């Protein structure tokens, strides 16, 4: 509107919750906005753009720390974008590694689940595979945190 978007309006336009917007401000990836006399936030079109950028980058798997870097780098349009390229490629590599790992897990789970069809727990393939790694066809060595975000 004329004197700025409320936090709720910004939320509706970006699909980002009100709490998350406040969180982004607190950790400094969103700049502070002006406030009304009653201390409510009022945002500009620039804030809207920045929040779109952040959300889009989050959807593409960038961490908030990476986003912070990207935003800093984006502020110097005359510099080389080599560093930006590096961050994007790092993120791509991380996503590719997660993909490979998930493919292995899918394979093993498919094998497990297809072998289990309504028998008794004592004969359950799922429990058996989980109990003994040597019954597992896949070499999914690696810590769970690899697999998470």
Q: Is 36 in the site for DNA (CB under 7 A)?
A: yes
CB 1, CB 41: distance < 8 Å: no
DSSP 8-state code for residue 35? E
DSSP 8-state code for residue 1? -
CB of 89: closest distance to DNA in angstroms? Answer: 17
Q: How far out from the chain centre does Cα 146 lie?
A: 14
Stretch that binds a copy of itself, among 4-12, 21-29, 34-42, 45-53 (CB under 8 A): 45-53
| Adjacent-strand bridge partners of 10 | none
Q: At a CB cut-off of 8 Å and minimum separation 6, what does 56 contact?
A: none
Q: Is 39 in the site for DNA (CB under 7 A)?
A: yes
| Site for a copy of itself, rule CB under 8 A | 15, 49, 52-53, 55-61, 70, 73-74, 76-82, 84-85, 87-89, 91-92, 95-96, 98-99, 102-103, 105-106, 108-110, 112-113, 116-124, 126-127, 129-133, 136, 140, 142-144, 147-149
């Amino acid at each position: 509107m004329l004197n700025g978007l409320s936090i709720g309006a910004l939320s509706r336009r970006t699909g980002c919750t009100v709490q998350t917007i406040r969180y982004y401000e607190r950790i400094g990836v969103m700049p502070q906005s002006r406030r009304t006399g009653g201390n409510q936030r009022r945002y500009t079109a620039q804030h809207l753009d920045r929040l779109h950028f952040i959300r889009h980058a989050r959807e593409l798997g960038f961490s908030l720390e990476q986003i912070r870097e990207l935003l800093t780098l984006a502020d110097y349009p005359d510099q080389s974008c080599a560093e930006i390229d590096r961050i994007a490629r790092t993120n791509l590599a991380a996503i590719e590694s997660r993909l490979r790992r998930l493919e292995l897990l899918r394979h093993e789970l498919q094998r497990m689940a297809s072998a289990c069809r309504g028998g008794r727990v004592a004969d359950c393939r799922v429990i058996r595979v989980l109990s003994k790694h040597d019954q597992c066809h896949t070499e999914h060595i690696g810590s769970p945190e690899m697999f998470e975000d």
